[in-house]
Amino acid sequence: MTELMPSYLVFDPANRRLRLDPHEPAFFQNPYETYAFLHGASSAFFWEDYGFWCFGGFDDVNRLLRDRRFGRQNPAGIPDGRGVGADRSHLRAFDGIEANSMLELEPPVHTRLRTLVNRAFVSRQVERLRPRVGALANELIDRFEPDGVDLLPSFASPLPITIIAEMLGVPVEMGPQLLDWSHKMVAMYMHGRTRETEETANRAARDFSDFLRGYVAERRKQPGDDLLSLLIAAQEDGQKLSEDELLSSAILLLNAGHEATVHQTGNAVRSILAQGGDPSRFFTTPDATAATVEECLRFDAPLHMFLRYAYEEIEAGPGILLKPGDKIALLLGMANHDPLAFAEPGAFRPGRGDQKNVSFGAGIHFCIGAPLARLELQVSLKTLFDRQPRLHLAEGPRFRDTFHFHGLERLAVAFRPATGPDD
């Protein structure tokens, strides 16, 4: 059945052109209504508000993520191809971080950086963190106010930032400051950023780098068993990370190590509570827990748009001709709801036989922290609902005005008493 076109968008089917303000509340509160319409109308379309072609079909997104004729690195040499105005001198510190970030680079540099960093994130290394994640989840739950809490600052946010800070060997009490720097830098990827946004991000990048530089100097003198020491010592064919590469890698791991996990934790709690009944029923066994987390990742992913550049003249889809340097967007959240790839994509079904979400990407830029994120989600969600099986929403959750990074503003919850009329 063809979905009706939402009133807040305009779509020209003949030219496959979409006009839709990503800051439209009806859209960022529920992008899946738009996705359902576009899957029926055209899963590849030119989004005029952004100025580039977008792909939301699962097969297209999966294919283009792996297609080496596209990449993250802008062939023009500018980190993201734009600034507010032509002059980027006010972004010198931010651009310096981006220039050495493996997320924004392609082989051979990307291959060398990822190989050096990946050793800390292989599954067997991450699995050793399971007891610590469980202990931390319990500590955070022990601190809950008895009447209720906002789960984002009290649970979803401190858990991953504490884990990644401990892994890197930086002070856990710096968590709030690390979060503040991260949020200001991530704002650079949002639609409609301003000069003020850019200057704020640049200051955050400079301060973040200066902070880490001091810890790198300490670790060079006195290595430990933390990730910073590992990155300093790591070699590949006799090559080590340069100072700038080391700082960029550490900042990327800190930012990526918590930003998406915070949003996914909030989105997952919201999705599970929306199913009604006892939420702990989704976490009865390790296999059930893992399946529930995978469905949460598919059902309401934290990252909805992933950008890439064309490196040659290419037909990205029927009638979509691209030139070198053209930008495209892969809509991960839309791909995860493709009715051609998933039976009843709008239904929350842990253990579904067609589970193959693209929330962590694919190809050479597949999320390096995916094993850690999965473990944190499995342990934290199971612990939360085992400890608080009567947890329920205290108010309707609302999403932030950040379509690109899909996450909640607040997640206010309350706890029913242990006994009562509902028993």
Q: How confident is the model at residue 181 (pLDDT cuts 50, 70, 90)?
A: very high
Q: What is the 3-state secondary structure (H, E, C) of 332-381?
A: HHHHCCCCCCCCCCCCCCCCCCCCCCCCCCCHHHCCCCHHHHHHHHHHHH
Measure the CA–CA gap between 392 and 390, rounded to whole angstroms.
Answer: 6
Give the model's pLDDT for residue 81: 45
Give the model's pLDDT for residue 417: 55
Strand residue runs (E) in 164-240: 235-236, 239-240
The token pair at 304 is 């909805």
Give the distance from CA 343 to its chain's centroid: 25
Q: How confident is the model at residue 381 (pLDDT cuts 50, 70, 90)?
A: very high
Q: Is the dihedral of CA 179, 372, 95, 228 positive or negative?
A: positive
pLDDT tens profile 360-370? 999 999 998 89
* Of 394 and 235, more confident: 394
Q: For residue 224, what are the CA distances in angstroms to 133, 168, 232, 404? A: 21, 10, 10, 37
Give the model's pLDDT for residue 421: 44
Q: Cα-atom radius of gyration of the chain, to the nearest Å? A: 22
pLDDT tens profile 126-172? 899 999 999 999 999 999 999 999 999 999 999 999 999 998 888 99
Segment 178-182 shows an average pLDDT of 89
pTM: 0.91
Q: How confident is the model at residue 79 (pLDDT cuts 50, 70, 90)?
A: low
What single DSSP character describes residue 147?
T
Give the model's pLDDT for residue 416: 72
- Residue 223, pLDDT > 50, answer yes
Measure the CA–CA gap between 410 and 69, rounded to whole angstroms.
Answer: 40
Segment 80-93 shows an average pLDDT of 68
Give the model's pLDDT for residue 121: 73
What angle (nearest 5°) sits at the alpha carbon of residue 172, between those of residues 170 and 173? 115
Measure the CA–CA gap between 343 and 219, rounded to whole angstroms.
Answer: 51
Segment 266-291 shows an average pLDDT of 97
- Residue 190, pLDDT > 70, answer yes
**b (16+ CB within 10 A) / e for 166-182:** bbbbbeeeebeebbebb
pLDDT tens profile 320-331? 999 999 999 999
DSSP lists the bridge partners of residue 55 as 44, 330
